[in-house]
Amino acid sequence: MKLIFEKSVPGRHSSLLPPCDVPAFELPETRQEPLELPELCENDVSRHYTQLCQRVHGVNCGFYPLGSCTMKYNPRIDEEAASLPGFTNVHPLAPKASVKGSLEVLDLAARYLCEISGMDGMTFQPAAGAHGEFTGVLLIKQYHDARGDKARTKIIVPDSAHGTNPATAAMCGYDVVNVASAPNGCVDLEALKAVLGPDIAGLMLTNPNTVGIFDENILEITRLVHACGGLCYYDGANLNAVMGHVRPGDMGFDCIHMNLHKTFATPHGGGGPGAGAVGCKAFLKEFLPKSALMEGEGHIQVRGFAGNFLVVVRALAYLLTLGREGVPEASANAVLNANYLMQKIKGSFTPAFDRVCMHEFVLDLSEFKKETGVSALDVAKSLIDNGMHPPTMYFPLIVHEALMLEPTETESKETLDEAAEVFRKLYDLAHTDPEYMHAAPHHAQIGRPDEVAAARNPVVRWVKA
Amino acid sequence: MTINPDMKYTKSHEWVKEEDGIAVVGITDFAQDALGDVVFVNLPEAGDEVVAGESFGDVESVKAVSDLVSPVSGIVQAVNEELIDAPEMLNSDPYGAWIIKVEQVNDREELMDADDYEAFCAEEG
């Protein structure tokens, strides 16, 4: 398929602009170069993007069990709310009296999300998850700095964590202390105790963790960290498993980020925008970022104004439509679906941890690979031929040949049965025709891109011939 | 999988060879095979301090980024700059493609000899 620049024909356009009725403005000299924008008529543009759209797989195309990403279906009503002109045509610096509805959205969404997370204060500035983590750990840093405690230079991150956790700690200027997991995939309490001390600023944790298991020692973990003077940060990546049932604030966490674009009905995976709302307990509220222009100076500011406001509108619409009963029901169904699918697949592939899981589970294909020569990558690529988006591969790192499945609550029993059947078929195929699976996908637009060449010698820019 | 009998090994799959007070460090054949094609290496600089059991850099493959853990404590005398442009050397010649050379070695992790390491890898599977 050609790039839109390659389809460009000089002089072609759609004459939709009315004649100019303001005086012409001479551009400054520094902007005299032609822009080299593609020149196409409207239906060329429309067809180009429709073709692109047909070449991808989204939640609207089929099953998308990408573990740790919560690729749930997003109800259209939330999209509709976010498209209301009263929300799309506002300016953050408009007089407050003219945007009372928008301000109420921010206020109400903050109150509901505080209730769900067990926090006392909330900011919507962070643009997405990792940005939220960064903001959350900055709260911890400001807290220690404000007390004059400069000795705390380390953040604890378990080895099952998302890669963004150690990256966040490093970006905030902390040294990362990695703590090994116990054989059950949870935090090893003895290993944790061994690293606690007056140099620990805090702990970053996801619960349920990245192998889909709820850490039963969570109260002891947060107590131990607090006892040494550190704070506890909750990575809300897996909140979809517990929302409405248990609150991070009650588990002992001091601050949290929530991926509104995952858990609360904004489509994601295509580059955003997202929203990484950050909540904190009352004693950290003074350190929350504020918009200098909207709310006053003297605070950190991680992004302009109120963040990605329309994502907050979607989240509020989602919460209002689900309500007090619907929110816990959604997470209960997410957990039920994951356990159902795990049990159905268990006859062929092997779960890494054979126990009741939360909203996602991990398959360990290392024995299967020894037996058949077919890798987790081969299975993932073969799933594409069967109309399914592959699960997350080779993550978490503590499981070798990992496939991580998160079906989410929005999939029906029929979809899960079909998916389990596809896995069973591929399991058999690996034993009879492994070569076919090494070469999969056979029916996709793109087969196996050369990932190694792409990583070693990336070509990220198209240059006009 | 090959194991070089002249080297000592860590549980995190680095090899180390000490000669004339200089410790040469790399990753094992087992490590490169588990990582898959290495696409990027993040190296320290000469003069940096490394600590036994702590990260001194990382290797990135198509699958994942993994820490490089130093088997010894000391000062980096030299880094293998060739790896920056040709990280694939870690795949094709793991025992030849050294990563760092450490001088003033003053501490060591618990190291295995070739036989123990072979048994350790068999267990890890």
- Say what the pLDDT of residue A159 is: 85
Report yes or no: A163 at the B interface, CB cutoff 8 Å: yes
What does the pLDDT look like over B19-78, one tens digit per residue?
A: 999 999 999 999 999 888 999 999 999 999 999 998 899 999 988 888 899 999 999 999
Taking CB atoms and an 8 Å cut-off, how many pairs form between chains A and B? Answer: 24
pTM: 0.89
Question: What distances in angstroms separate CA A324 from CA A41, A74, A244, A248, one per listed residue?
Answer: 49, 18, 8, 17
H-type alpha helices, chain B: 29-35, 82-85, 89-92, 114-124
Distance, CA of A204 to CA of A162 (rounded, Å): 10
Give CA torsion, residues A253, A259, A264, A265, to 10 deg.
-170
Could you identify the residue written with the tokens 């301000």? A103
Residue numbers in B near A177 (CB within 8 A):
none
Question: How far is the C-alpha of B104 from the C-alpha of A184, rounded, in Å?
Answer: 40
Cβ separation of A455 and B88 shorter than 8 Å? no
Contact, A278 vs A256, CB < 8 A? yes
Q: Which of residues 27-86 of B touch A (CB under 8 A)?
A: 34, 37, 39-40, 60, 62-67
A397 touching chain B per CB within 8 A: yes
User: Residue A452 is nearest to which of B34, B62, B65, comparing CB atoms?
Assistant: B62
Does the structure show a pLDDT above 70 at B17? yes
Question: Which pair of tokens denotes residue A20?
Answer: 């100019």
Could you tell me the pLDDT band of residue A322, with boundaries at 50, 70 and 90?
A: very high
**Phi, psi at A330, each rounded to 5°:** -60, -45
**Interatomic CA distance for residues A317 and A333, integer angstroms:** 20
What CA–CA distance (Å, rounded) separates A66 from A360? 9
Question: A370 and B125 in contact by Cβ < 8 A?
Answer: yes
Q: What does the pLDDT read at residue B124?
A: 77
Q: What is the pLDDT, as a whole number, of residue B24?
A: 96
Contact list, B87 vs chain A (CB under 8 Å) = 456
Q: Residue for token digits 């406001």?
A: A309
Q: Are the beta carbons of A455 and B125 separated by less than 8 Å?
A: no
> Is the model's pLDDT at A253 over the cut of 80?
yes
CA distance B20 to chain A (A): 33
Average pLDDT, chain A: 94
Going from N- to C-terminal start, the domains of chain A cover 1-55, 77-319, 333-453
Assigned CATH class of A333-453: alpha beta
The rounded distance, in Å, linking the Cα atoms of A130 and B57 is 22
Percent residues over pLDDT 70 in chain A: 100
- Chain A, window 398-417: residues with a beta carbon less than 8 angstroms from a chain B beta carbon: 400
Q: Mean pLDDT over residues A23-35, rounded?
A: 85
Chain B residues inside the 8 Å CB shell of A452: 37, 39, 62
**Is 80 exceeded by the pLDDT of residue A269?**
no
- pLDDT band with cut points at 50, 70 and 90 for residue A205: very high
Chain A positions touching B63 (Cβ under 8 A) are 393-394
Residue pLDDT, tens place only, A42-64: 999 999 999 998 888 999 899 99
Q: State the Cα–Cα distance between residues A160 and A359, nearest whole angstrom.
A: 16
Q: Is the pLDDT of residue A16 over 80?
A: no
Mean pLDDT for the stretch of residues A77-97: 94
Quick check: A370 contacting B, CB < 8 Å?
yes
pLDDT band at B125 (very low <50, low <70, confident <90, very high): low
Average pLDDT rounded to a whole number, residues A188-192: 95
Window B:93-112, CB contacts with A under 8 Å: none
- What is the dihedral sign for C-alpha A109, A113, A118, A120? negative
User: What ipTM does the predicted assembly reach?
Assistant: 0.74
- The reply to whether A451 touches chain B by the CB within 8 Å rule is yes
Q: How far apart are CA B72 and CA B50, in angstroms?
A: 7
How close is the nearest chain B Cα to the Cα of A361, in Å? 19
Contact list in A for residue B39 (CB cut-off 8 A) is 452, 455-456
| Contact across the interface for A451 and B65, Cβ inside 8 Å | no
CA distance A224 to A220: 6
Q: Which residues contact B121 (CB under 8 A, 6 or more apart)?
A: B1, B3, B30
Nearest to B62 among A366, A395, A451 (CB): A451
For the stretch A399-427, pLDDT in tens is: 889 999 999 999 999 999 999 999 999 99
Instruction: Tell me which residue in A178, A393, A456 faces B39 most closely, judged by beta carbons.
Output: A456
Give the closest of A178, A366, A397 to B64, CB-based: A397
pLDDT band at A97 (very low <50, low <70, confident <90, very high): very high
Peptide bond into A208 cis (omega under 30): yes
- Window 176-205 of A, Cβ < 8 Å to B: 178
Asked if B87 has any chain A CB less than 8 Å from its own CB, the reply is yes
Task: For each of the domains in chain B, give its residue range(s) and CATH number, in order of start.
Answer: 8-124 (2.40.50.100)
Identify which of A336, A359, A334, A355 has the alpha carbon closest to the alpha carbon of residue A346: A355
Determine whether the interchain pair B62/A397 forms a contact, defined as Cβ–Cβ distance below 8 Å: no
B103: closest CA of chain A, how far (Å)? 24
A450 in contact with chain B, both atoms CB, cutoff 8 A: no
* % of residues, chain A, pLDDT over 90: 79
Band of pLDDT at residue A164, cut at 50, 70 and 90? very high
Q: What is the mean pLDDT of chain B?
A: 93
- Cross-chain Cβ contact A455/B63 below 8 Å: no
Say if domain A77-319 classifies as CATH 3.40.640.10. yes
Distance CA A249, CA A116 (A): 9
| Residues B97, B88 contacting (CB under 8 angstroms) | no
Q: Are A287 and A324 in contact (CB under 8 A)?
A: no
Could you give the maximum distance between any two Cα atoms of chain B, in Å?
37
Q: Is the pLDDT of residue A397 over 80?
A: no
Distances (CA, A) of A375 to A444, B25, B63: 19, 30, 12
Chain B hits for A393, CB-CB cut-off 8 Å, are 63
Distance of CA A33 to the CA centre of its chain: 39
How far is A285 from A303, CA to CA, in rounded Å?
Answer: 17
- For residue A343, give the 3-state DSSP assignment: helix
Token code pair at residue A171: 């970006």
